[in-house]
Homo-oligomer: A and B are copies of this chain.
Amino acid sequence: MAQVTIGNSEFDRDTAVVRRSPGVYDAELSAGWTIIHAVNGGYLLALMGRALGDALPHPDPMTVTAHYLTASRPGPAVIRTEVVRTGRTMSTGTATLVQFEDDGTEVERLRVLAAYGDLDALPDDVRTTAKPPAMPARAECFGADAAPGGRPALPGSSAITARLDVRLDPATCGWAVGAPSGNGEMRGWFGLADGRDADPLSLLLTVDALPPTAFEMGLKGWVPTVELTTHIRCRPAPGPLRVSITTRNLAGGFLEEDAEVWDADDRLVAQSRQLARALLD
């Protein structure tokens, strides 16, 4: 088996974009990254991130905001980018992802506003007070096949679970056996199933890859993302990542999900927050 590397992996092939003209890219949304009713939002974000990384003069996403407008479907898509500003150390751009109905009508799926920079050019100064999440060793966490009777019964597709190696902290797995903790917390180890190491683009996938905290809060309905903002703070080291997601405020039919991603060197490599709808049942 050929070695899987950054640039030569399932994730890289499925997030590839082909430049059609300056700033315009063709993409193919893979059915391999669907979950329940939708193409995974983090996968879509990584695809947009790849297009913006080509369109902008700086290589790495530093802060990326995505608004999810309509549900994407596997199949062809077009990404159009606009360079908003080019600075010395950072540049800013927008991207829109569109798909086409059978009658040719264009429908926008996603709108992104992002700033890119060069993570390798940042100073080494670290004065963080953040600590990695307390969670059991990877071997003591639960993979997608560990729940009694196989994976928890979710309606629709679970294709993405075959592409991810997510192992959840047992303390945040109660939902899968009908006994949610009631806490707005979800924690787990994250890797890509084929062993590809993390990079800034795959971190855009990582922040939206765990089950919704709402499941542990006893909600059973889907939790569609309205807006997701991710800050990539550091290039991740090789090895497994730890992801900790918390929700403090479920109110008025909306909730926030704050994610932190830690690498094998105990560096906080990404922070994200999303506003999601809680479809109460």
**Taking beta carbons and an 8 Å cutoff, which residues of A are in contact with B?**
62-63, 65, 67, 69-70, 84-85, 90, 92, 94, 108, 111, 113, 115, 119, 122-130, 183-184, 217, 226-227, 229, 231, 233-234, 247-254, 256, 267-268, 271, 273, 275, 280
Contacts and interface: CB of A to CB of B under 8 A. Distances in A.
Given A234-B251, A249-B268, A256-B231, A111 B111 contact: no
A229 B250 CA distance: 18
Contacts of A227: 63, 65, 115, 229
A127 B268 contact: no
A254 B233 contact: yes
Given A249-B233, A252-B123, A253-B125, A67 B113 contact: yes
Given A248-B129, A249-B271, A63 B233 contact: no
A111 B123 contact: no
A124 B252 contact: yes
Nearest to A84: B111
Contact of A65 (B65, B119, B249, B254): B65
A271 B115 CA distance: 21
A125 B221 CA distance: 15
B69 A92 contact: yes
Given A251-B127, A268-B249, A275 B184 contact: no
Contact of A63 (B84, B217, B226, B247): B226
Nearest to A65: B65
8 contacts: A65-B227, A69-B92, A70-B85, A84-B108, A92-B111, A125-B250, A126-B252, A231-B256
Contacts of A280: 123, 125
A65 B234 contact: no
Contacts of A62: 226, 254, 275
A130 to B, nearest CB: 4
A116 to B, nearest CB: 11
Contacts of A123: 252-253, 280
A230 B24 CA distance: 30
